[in-house]
């Protein structure tokens, strides 16, 4: 595309940039406010006029949160669950995507149809039955209750099937002729070519689990099993909420995924684009 | 292809199937790769959906789960709170989704335009809200929009505007939820549009310019038709997402004031896990499924016809 250097084009360019910049300030303002609020005491957060620069109470708020409320357990739970979920879910979805993309077998159409139907159904329908299953298995307050039900994520299977189709059949065929076993072909030949898609899927799964709320709220009944969002919501529900502490906790919940996002933005966006299939 | 002599010899000794076998996988292989998914689906998807269907036909009477036929659905049909939740959800749907997708479209065109400076920086700024979890941004917005002490009302007052009862007034509570949703998801849709925009060939625009088409004509006749698949996708997905709306009202307004922000998802949750009326909650879930299926089908049909 050619670049127009006329005065009109320049003023148009300035106007567009200014409008977009104002919008960006509005988008980022809540993040700035989060930093400000998490560094003040409750009464200073809601003072009039409000504080617009960070204060010096962050350490106090964090101490209250981690020592007083045992928030560290929630961070540990979330980290473990989200990491395990991303790894196992990535593997399970990739294996299924491989089967759908690179094999022809009886029942394939029906099985893939089931994946698509489950993708479209609202998951809220399963809340009550899943709760009862977890009660019967005595799995309330456990990691497996959080990890297993959504491990076979229809979106993930769909995504990996699409991506797997780009793996050349000749590559797999050649390995078979060389006598490699089926699982070795998958692990040593197919998976390495799938790295970018695996990264995108892994980030998507991690983020989904890290931020998930309704389902964990239902199967986690004791505070030592809480994940970060459930712990935050329980702090907010108190009658005399300590907002400095609550917002410091919110900051703690945002920082890991924000870091992940800024370092791996490319994969992140790839995941969202592919993730356009789900919302 | 020629076989080496020694292989030709051995092929006489081995059955023909053995040789074909080396080029293709054993028949069971794909099922083995699918096994974990099949087991998990059976236990945590198919069984729960079927079980919920059965539950929706039952009611707990004197501690016993009792079959009541379509009783729950009949009760739902005359439940004023359900209709309230349904209309709240639909009001948020028909205002928020067009607002958000319109903004996302404008943003995507700007991000794709040579007129905008520092494009990748702005793209990141608009996209970053998506990483914040629903609970986190619910808490954040509830402090920002606090009626007495919130920053937003302070700023409004300082420029001479009246305070707004963001979370305490039935109408403004809906507006608050719409603002929060738009803040969270607009960048996401913009990125989807941007990816599609970049796939529209530049020659189309050059040819149109040579033919004397105005900027508006180019947008209307090239950009919009080129974006149709992405628009269809985002409309359907945002609609499905909004119909299932739960987290934002739960954290921001708890469905209030006076049920003004009660959504179908929240009503389902309340019945299931506050009143432990599992049958009624399951019936709500299935009615929600029906509504989602119907609306998504209509949208798909409508947007596809236009595509031709």
User: Could you tell me if B129 and A27 are in contact, meaning their C-beta atoms sit under 8 angstroms apart?
Assistant: yes
Q: Is B85 exposed, middle or buried (0-12, 13-18, 19+ CB in 10 A)?
A: buried
Any idea which fold A70-277 has?
A: MetI-like fold (1.10.3720)
Q: What is the pLDDT of residues B133-170, one digit of tens each?
A: 888 888 888 888 887 778 888 888 888 888 888 888 89
ipTM of the complex: 0.85
pLDDT of residue B9: 40
A238 vs A245: CA distance, rounded Å: 12
pLDDT in tens, A20-66: 999 999 999 899 989 998 998 888 887 777 778 888 888 988 988 89
* B183–A30 C-beta distance less than 8 A: yes
Determine the average pLDDT of the residues in A118-131: 85
CA distance B235 to B296: 9
The answer on B191 and B95 residing in a single domain is: yes
Q: Is the pLDDT of residue B12 over 50?
A: no
Same domain, residue pair B105 and B217: yes
Pair (B64, B85) in one structural domain: no
- Minimum distance, in Å, between the CA of residue A81 and any CA atom of chain B: 16
Are A258 and B118 in contact (CB < 8 Å)? no
Phi and psi for B195 in degrees, rounded to 5?
A: -60, -40
CB contact under 8 A, B46 and A114: yes
DSSP B99-161: HHHHHHHHHHHHHT-TTSSSHHHHHHHHHGGGGS-HHHHHHHHHHHT-TTT-HHHHHHHHTTP
The Cα B69–Cα A202 span in angstroms is: 44
d(CA A229, CA B55): 29
Contact: A152, B45; criterion CB under 8 Å: yes
Same-domain check for residues B86 and B212: yes
In this predicted structure, what is the pLDDT of residue A4? 59
Assess whether B207 and B276 both reside in one domain.
yes
Q: Say yes or no to pLDDT of A148 above 60.
A: yes
Counting the structural domains of chain B, the total is 2
Question: Residue B201 has which token pair?
Answer: 């060939």
Predicted local distance difference test score (pLDDT) of residue B305? 58
pTM: 0.84
Mean pLDDT for A194-198 is: 83
Contacts of A258 in chain B (CB under 8 A): 128, 131
Decide: B90 and B263 in contact? Cβ < 8 Å. Answer: no
Q: Cβ(B184)–Cβ(B175) under 8 Å?
A: no
Q: Is a pLDDT exceeding 70 seen at residue B202?
A: yes
Q: Does position B225 have pLDDT exceeding 90, yes or no?
A: no
3-state secondary structure of A151: coil
> How much of chain B exceeds pLDDT 70, in percent?
91
How far is A23 from chain B, CA to nearest CA, in Å?
A: 8
Same domain for B101 and B50, yes or no, is: no
Q: What is the pLDDT of residue A216?
A: 94
- Give a yes or no: residue B83 inside a domain: yes
Query: Given B110, B129, B131, which is nearest A20 (Cβ)?
Result: B110
Give A235's contacts (C-beta < 8 A, 6+ positions apart).
Answer: A69, A241, A242, A245, A246, A249
How much is the average pLDDT of B55-82?
89
Whole-number pLDDT of residue B1: 38
What's the CATH code of the domain at B180? 1.10.3720.10
Task: Output the CA angle A110-A111-A112, nearest 5 degrees.
Answer: 95
- pLDDT at B59 exceeding the cut of 80: yes
Q: In the predicted model, is pLDDT for residue B14 greater than 60?
A: no
Contact criterion met (CB < 8 Å) for A132 and B247: no
The whole domain housing B303 covers 79-307
Give the position of tokens 């009477």.
B61
Average pLDDT over residues A193-209: 86
Q: Is the domain of B129 the same as that of B184? A: yes
Instruction: Report CB contact under 8 Å: A258, B202.
Output: no
pLDDT at B46: 93
Position B36 pLDDT exceeds 80: yes
Q: Is the pLDDT of residue A167 over 90?
A: no
Residue B20 pLDDT exceeds 60: no
- pLDDT tens digits for A126-145? 988 999 999 999 999 999 99
Residue B66 in 3-state DSSP? Answer: strand
CA distance, residue A212 to nearest chain B CA (Å): 8
Mean pLDDT of B213-241: 86
Question: What pLDDT score was predicted for residue B23?
Answer: 59
| DSSP 8-state class, residue A167 | S
Instruction: Please give the helix or strand (H or E) that residue A268 lies within, else none.
Output: helix A265-274
pLDDT of residue A189: 87
The pLDDT of residue A42 is 81
Residue A85's pLDDT is 96
B225 and B140 share one domain = yes
Q: Count Cα atoms within 13 angstroms, Cβ side, for A121.
A: 22
pLDDT reading at A109 higher than 50: yes
Q: B187 with B299, same domain?
A: yes
B175 assigned to some structural domain: yes
Query: Which chain B residue is nearest to residue A179, measuring alpha carbons?
Result: B22
Number of residues in chain A: 279
Farthest CA pair distance, chain A = 76
Round the average pLDDT of chain A to a whole number and report it: 86
């Amino acid at each position: 595309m050619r670049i127009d250097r006329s005065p009109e084009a320049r003023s148009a360019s300035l106007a567009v940039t200014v409008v977009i910049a104002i919008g960006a300030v509005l988008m980022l303002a809540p993040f700035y406010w989060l930093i400000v609020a998490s560094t003040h005491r409750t009464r200073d957060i809601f003072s009039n006029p409000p504080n617009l620069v960070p204060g010096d109470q962050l350490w106090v708020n964090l101490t209250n949160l981690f020592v007083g409320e045992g928030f560290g357990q929630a961070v540990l739970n979330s980290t473990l669950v989200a990491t395990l979920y991303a790894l196992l879910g990535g593997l399970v979805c990739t294996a299924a995507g491989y089967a759908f993309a690179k094999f022809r077998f009886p029942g394939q159409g029906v099985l893939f149809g089931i994946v698509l139907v489950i993708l479209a159904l609202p998951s809220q329908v399963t809340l009550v039955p899943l709760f009862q299953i977890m009660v019967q298995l005595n799995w309330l307050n456990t990691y497996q209750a959080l990890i297993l039900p959504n491990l076979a994520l229809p979106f993930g299977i769909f995504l990996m099937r699409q991506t797997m189709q780009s793996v050349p059949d000749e590559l797999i065929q050649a390995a078979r002729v060389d006598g490699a076993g089926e699982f070795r072909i998958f692990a040593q030949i197919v998976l390495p070519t799938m790295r970018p898609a695996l990264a995108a899927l892994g980030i998507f799964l991690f983020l989904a689990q890290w931020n998930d709320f309704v389902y964990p709220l239902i199967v986690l009944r004791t505070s030592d099993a809480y994940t970060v969002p459930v712990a935050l919501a329980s702090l907010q529900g108190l009658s005399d909420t300590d907002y400095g502490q609550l917002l410091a906790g919110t900051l703690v919940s945002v920082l890991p995924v924000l870091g992940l996002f800024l370092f791996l933005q490319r994969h992140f966006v790839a995941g969202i684009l592919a993730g356009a299939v789900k919302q | 292809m020629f076989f080496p002599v020694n292989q030709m010899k051995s092929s006489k000794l081995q059955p023909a199937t053995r040789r074909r076998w080396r080029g293709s996988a054993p028949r069971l292989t794909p099922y083995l790769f699918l096994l974990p998914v099949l087991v998990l689906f059976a236990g945590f998807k198919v069984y729960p959906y079927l079980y919920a269907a059965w539950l929706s036909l039952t009611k707990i009477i004197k501690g016993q789960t009792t079959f009541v036929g379509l009783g729950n659905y009949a009760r739902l049909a005359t439940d004023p709170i359900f209709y309230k939740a349904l209309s709240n959800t639909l009001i948020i749907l028909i205002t928020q989704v067009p607002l958000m997708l319109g903004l996302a479209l404008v943003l995507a065109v700007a991000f794709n335009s040579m007129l905008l400076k520092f494009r990748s920086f702005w793209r990141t700024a608009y996209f970053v809200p998506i990483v914040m979890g629903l609970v986190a941004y619910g808490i954040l917005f509830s402090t920002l929009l606090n009626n007495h002490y919130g920053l937003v009302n302070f700023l409004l007052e300082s420029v001479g505007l009246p305070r707004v009862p963001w979370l305490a007034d039935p109408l403004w509570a809906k507006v608050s939820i719409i603002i929060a949703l738009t803040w969270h998801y607009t960048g996401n849709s913009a990125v989807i549009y941007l990816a599609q925009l970049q796939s529209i060939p530049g020659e189309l625009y050059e040819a149109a310019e040579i033919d004397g088409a105005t900027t508006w004509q180019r947008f209307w006749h090239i950009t919009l038709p080129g974006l149709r698949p992405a628009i269809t996708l985002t409309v359907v997905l945002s609609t499905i997402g909004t119909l299932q709306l739960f987290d934002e009202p739960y954290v921001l307004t708890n469905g209030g004031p006076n049920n003004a922000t009660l959504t179908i998802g929240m009503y389902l949750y309340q019945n299931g896990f506050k009143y432990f009326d599992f049958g009624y909650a399951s019936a709500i879930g299935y009615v929600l499924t029906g509504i989602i299926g119907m609306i998504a089908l209509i949208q798909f049909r409508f947007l596809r016809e236009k595509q031709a």
